[in-house]
Amino acid sequence: MSLLTLDDATIKFGGLTAVNQVSFDLNKGDLFGLIGPNGAGKTTCFNLITGIYQPTSGDIRFKGKSLAGASPNKVAALGICRTFQNIRLFPSLSVLENVVVGGFLRHRSTLASALMYLPNSIKETNHLKEEAMEYLRILDLQDVPNARSADLPYGMQRRLEIARAMATKPELLLLDEPAAGMNPQEKQDLMETVRRIRDNQGITILVIEHDMRLVMNLCERIVVLDHSEEIAHGPPEAIRNDPKVISAYLGEPV
């Protein structure tokens, strides 16, 4: 059975169709790419999967069960966690604390209750701290656990977001342009880290990336969106030579 299924997922905002009849399947262990030019509907797909928006028509299923009506909290509790295109960390908390909060979110349904219980659950916190250090190591942030997250360079903040998402122990991790704003070497390093997360932690990953070349090297299967529609779907070799994809990316830096 597939882990995640988009079945003709569609959402309209007034007259604008942001995602139009998009269908694809993710199997457990997939490292799957979602690409397309700016405005294609990629982030909106994540918003649909994570319950921020409900589809106007079509369905999204996780382990065979429809996510229709599920709130973002509920979707997270089911095992789907995401990072955002624009970084959303707790800027005044330390690097380690940001990841510990991710772990707390697994136990408490809301951030408010997570923060409220923080000082009272020392034992749990110690355990979460150890786990958090492990995630920091995976994301190569183990040397800066006590830095204020707002003081980190941008590329490290992006990696910290992934560490925090991992602390929720998701089965499915959605990464929205995790390498945005990084230099080429940082991007390459991050992509290798993403692959290791899939290989070593067994987490299924759906990654949005604007840079087609980067995704081609990383993902085994790719869906391409353009103007809200799915225009191609398949392994990188097929995508690379697809005339519709080439045309959608014309004029874009590839």
Residues contributing to the site for ligand ADP (CB under 6 A): 13, 16, 18, 36, 38-44
Q: What is the closest distance, in whole angstroms, from the C-beta atom of residue 39 to ligand ADP in the complex? A: 4
Per rule CB under 5 A, count of chain residues that contact Mg ion = 3
**Distances from the Cα of 115 to the Cα of 44, 81, 125, 151, angstroms:** 29, 19, 11, 21
Task: Give which of Mg ion, ligand ADP, none residue 185 binds (C-beta under 5 to 8 Å, depending on kind).
Answer: none
Which residue number, 11 or 96, has a Cβ lying nearer to ligand ADP? 11
User: Long-range CB contacts (< 8 A, 24+ apart) of 24-27?
Assistant: 24/223, 24/230, 24/233, 26/2, 26/172, 26/204, 26/206, 27/2, 27/3, 27/204
Which residues from 67-96 bind Mg ion, rule CB under 5 A? Answer: 85
Q: What is the closest distance, in whole angstroms, from the C-beta atom of residue 128 to ligand ADP in the complex? A: 32
Task: Give which of ligand ADP, Mg ion, none residue 13 binds (C-beta under 5 to 8 Å, depending on kind).
Answer: ligand ADP
Kindly write out the interface string for residues 26-45 of this chain, putting x where it contacts Mg ion by CB under 5 A and - elsewhere. ----------------xx--
Provide the pairing of β-strand 57-62 with 65-66: antiparallel
Provide the pairing of β-strand 221-226 with 229-234: antiparallel
Q: What is the closest distance, in whole angstroms, from the C-beta atom of residue 213 to ligand ADP in the complex? A: 18
Cβ burial, residue 168 (10 Å; 0-12/13-18/19+): buried
Which residue number, 4 or 248, has a Cβ lying nearer to ligand ADP? 248
The span from the CA of 204 to the CA of 192, in Å, is 15
Which residue number, 42 or 159, has a Cβ lying nearer to ligand ADP? 42
Q: What is the closest distance, in whole angstroms, from the C-beta atom of residue 118 to ligand ADP in the complex? A: 32
Which residue number, 18 or 219, has a Cβ lying nearer to ligand ADP? 18
Q: Which residues contact 57 (CB under 8 A, 6 or more apart)?
A: 8, 10
Which residue number, 15 or 153, has a Cβ lying nearer to ligand ADP? 15
Which residue number, 38 or 92, has a Cβ lying nearer to ligand ADP? 38
Q: Which residues contact 182 (CB under 8 A, 6 or more apart)?
A: 154, 155, 158, 190
Q: Which residues contact 86 (CB under 8 A, 6 or more apart)?
A: none
What strand order describes the sheet that includes 31-35? 80-82, 172-176, 204-208, 31-35, 221-226, 229-234
Task: Give which of Mg ion, ligand ADP, none residue 36 binds (C-beta under 5 to 8 Å, depending on kind).
Answer: ligand ADP
Task: Give which of Mg ion, ligand ADP, none residue 38 binds (C-beta under 5 to 8 Å, depending on kind).
Answer: ligand ADP
Q: What is the closest distance, in whole angstroms, from the C-beta atom of residue 64 to ligand ADP in the complex? A: 26
Q: What is the closest distance, in whole angstroms, from the C-beta atom of residue 106 to ligand ADP in the complex? A: 27
Contact residues for Mg ion, defined by CB under 5 A: 42-43, 85
